[in-house]
Structure formats: C-alpha cells, structure tokens
C-alpha cells in the first residue's frame, strides 16, 4: 500500500509540475486561461478522484491516505479548482450508509467521470443571519453537503442560477453564496458528521502542508538566486535560520497529515481527534511559513506577479474553513479526555 501511494504521489506530482506550473497558475489568476477547467478534465481522465474511493464505488481504495496525497500535491502546486470540496464530499458520500443506492451511487459515478463537481459548507457551524449558506466549490456544483441537526449531514441540490460568486482573496479557489431557500434537500445522511469533519479536516491539513512545502521550496530557490550586497541573500544567517525553522516545521506538519490519515483509515478511536488537530496545527504552521515566504522575497513578495501571495492566501483560507481552530482544539480536548476515560490509547504509533 505504501508503495502504491508513493507511485500515485509521484504520478500526480509529475502531471501537476507539467500542467500546473507557476506560469499556468498565473495565467489562470490573470484570466488568460481556464486552467481549472483543464485540470478538471485531466483529473477525470486520470481518475484522480477515484484514488481514495472504495472499490465498491469504483475507486482504487487508497482511502484517506489517497485523499491526503491528492490534496497535498494540489496544494503544493497551488492548483485552481474545486478539487478539495469535491474529493472530500464524494469520499464522505461513499462512506455513508446510502452509498450503494440511488441517488448517491449515481452522483459518485458522475463525480468520478468528471461530469459534475460538489461543494461543501465553508463553515460547519455558523448559521448566517442573512439566510444564505456559503459553500466551498464551483458555482456550477451539482450538489453540496451541509451541516444538519446534531450529527446529521444534509445532501442538497444546487440551482446554479441562484449562486452568487463571492470575490475572495484566494484566487485559486471558489466560494459561493446560496440563499437557503434555493437549496433543495435531497436526503439526510444520518450520523455522517464525524466522518465528513474528519475527511474535511484531513484534506485541509494536506492542502496546507502541500502549500507550505510548495512555497518554501520556491522561496529557498529564490534565496539562492537573489543577490544583495554582492552575495546571495540565502547566505545571510538571519534568513538561513528562518528557512531552517520552516523546513523543520514543514516536516512536522507533514507527519500530522499522515497521522490523521492513518487513524481514519484504520477506524481508530483517535480518527476525529487527530484529523481536527492536524487541521488546526498544520494550517497555522502553513500560515506562518507562507507569510514569512512573502517577507523573504522582499518587494516582489508584495506583488501578484510572484508566487508567494498565492500560497499565503490559499493557506489563510484553509485555516478559516470547516471550524475555527480553537473550536477544533476544544473538540480534540474533549475527545482526548474521553479516550483517557475509556482507556483508548490514542497516542500509540503503529
């Protein structure tokens, strides 16, 4: 399984290095290409959304680790599109009790084939006072998962004509607003919330860890090239030490992503605890790294022309999605106390 995962990662990375280069992403954010659409067809063609899905749903069964690898690489390339929302939503649907029956089975097949995308509640708790719901996903998304009563999740169908595209700082992703009245309930997925929250948290952590890696690699390369005072800025110790800290913290962040993915796949009692802790810690580490990468670029870091701003805005959005990190840590603290009470060893590492 680890070999297969490494292979999958390698192939995703190779494709994205080619198709989703810095140049291409800037072309997209400047409105000169439709990279998100191009990637959408490519993803369908290469079957990337099937990587995590169980075989029963036509997937190759790499589970949460597959989901993490995909989102990590997408983050590393700062890839535009609604892949995070779609991959999490389809994986959650495939894990719901209703996965084998219509309309969900058909929806999953359509997602894998690339004919539809899905959306997710941007926030899993806030009820907006204006009667609208904010969703992470494309305006053309067919359906969305939003919070229901208690542990229930609602599958809703979306009417694209009612979608309001919000202008957000992150140019690589899309958030839309829907009037609640325009959302058509398809079905209530009983008890799916912990599964959805775990997968959503994991994907956000993976995207952020990947983005931190991406911006750090590019920044280190820049530090070797850019000269001031007659030498590369990377030879200044004040900057070197920051780069070393970022390197170490990025490695730590990666580990939290795998910790969460392994726990979810093994259905361990720590699954929810580790995924929300991964989201909280990793998005904050990534925000610190991505912010400093802007600073380490100097003036060009303050422009739209260079890459650092893309990553910074992306990880800042990741950090705010799902639930505030404080609330996630509170949830983790409760789960940890419960685990200690039940003698569940959630700190054990296989």
Phi, psi of 144 (to 5 degrees): -145, 155
Does residue 226 belong to the site contacting another protein (CB under 8 A)? Answer: no
By the rule CB under 8 A, 278 interacts with another protein = yes
Instruction: Rule CB under 8 A: choose which of 1, 56, 101, 340 binds another protein.
Output: 340
By rule CB under 8 A, what string of x and - marks binding of each residue 286-325 to another protein?
Answer: ---------------------------------------x
215's enclosing H/E stretch is helix 193-225
Q: Is 125 in the site for another protein (CB under 8 A)?
A: no
> Does 261 help bind another protein (rule: CB under 8 A)?
no
Which of 248, 266, 295, 342 is the binder for another protein (CB under 8 A)? Answer: 248
Find the binder of another protein among 39, 53, 253, 286 (CB under 8 A).
Answer: 253
Based on the shown chain and the rule CB under 8 A, indicate whether residue 281 belongs to the binding site for another protein.
yes
Closest CA to 211 of 20, 46, 64: 20
225 part of the interface to another protein, by CB under 8 A = no
Three-class HEC string of 20-44: CCHHHHHHHHCCCCCHHHHHHHHHH
Q: Which of 34, 85, 101, 92 is nearest to 63 (CA)?
A: 92
Q: What is the CA radius of gyration of the chain?
A: 20
Q: How far apart are CA 27 and CA 14, in angstroms?
A: 20
Task: Report the residue number, 138 or 254, with the smaller CB distance to another protein.
Answer: 254
Task: Report the C-alpha gap between 42 and 174 in whole angstroms.
Answer: 19
Which residues make up the interface to another protein (CB under 8 A)? 220, 223-224, 231-232, 234-237, 240-241, 243-245, 247-249, 251-253, 255-256, 258-259, 274, 277-278, 280-281, 325-326, 329-330, 332-333, 336-337, 340-341, 347, 349
């Amino acid at each position: 399984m680890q070999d297969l995962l490494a292979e999958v990662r390698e192939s995703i990375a190779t494709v994205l290095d080619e198709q989703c280069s810095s140049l291409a992403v800037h072309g997209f954010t400047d409105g000169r290409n439709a990279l998100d659409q191009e990637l959408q067809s490519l993803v369908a063609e290469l079957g990337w959304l099937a990587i995590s899905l169980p075989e029963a749903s036509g997937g190759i069964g790499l589970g949460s680790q597959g989901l993490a690898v995909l989102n990590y690489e997408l983050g590393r390339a700062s890839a535009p599109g609604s892949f995070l929302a779609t991959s999490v939503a389809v994986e959650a649907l495939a894990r719901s009790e209703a996965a084998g029956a219509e309309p969900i089975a058909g929806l999953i097949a359509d997602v894998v084939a690339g004919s539809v995308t899905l959306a997710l509640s941007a926030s899993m708790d806030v009820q907006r006072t204006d009667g609208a719901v904010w969703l992470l996903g494309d305006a053309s998304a067919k359906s969305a998962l939003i919070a229901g009563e208690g542990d229930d999740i609602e599958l809703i169908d979306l009417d694209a004509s009612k979608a309001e595209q919000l202008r957000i700082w992150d140019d690589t992703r899309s958030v839309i607003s829907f009037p609640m009245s325009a959302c058509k309930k398809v079905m209530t997925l009983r008890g799916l919330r912990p599964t959805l929250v775990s997968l959503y948290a994991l994907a956000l952590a993976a995207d952020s860890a990947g983005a931190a890696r991406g911006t750090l690699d590019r920044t280190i390369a820049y530090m070797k090239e850019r000269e001031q005072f007659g030498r590369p800025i990377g030879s200044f110790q004040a900057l070197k030490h920051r780069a070393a800290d970022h390197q170490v913290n990025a490695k730590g962040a990666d580990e939290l992503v795998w910790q969460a993915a392994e726990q979810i796949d093994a259905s361990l009692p720590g699954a929810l605890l580790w995924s929300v802790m991964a989201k909280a810690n990793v998005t904050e580490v990534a925000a610190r790294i991505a912010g400093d990468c802007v600073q380490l670029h100097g003036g060009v870091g303050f422009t739209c022309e260079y890459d650092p701003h893309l990553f910074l805005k992306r990880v800042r959005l990741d950090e705010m999605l799902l639930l505030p990190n404080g609330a996630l840590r509170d949830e983790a603290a409760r789960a940890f106390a419960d685990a200690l009470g039940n003698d569940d060893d959630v700190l054990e590492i296989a």
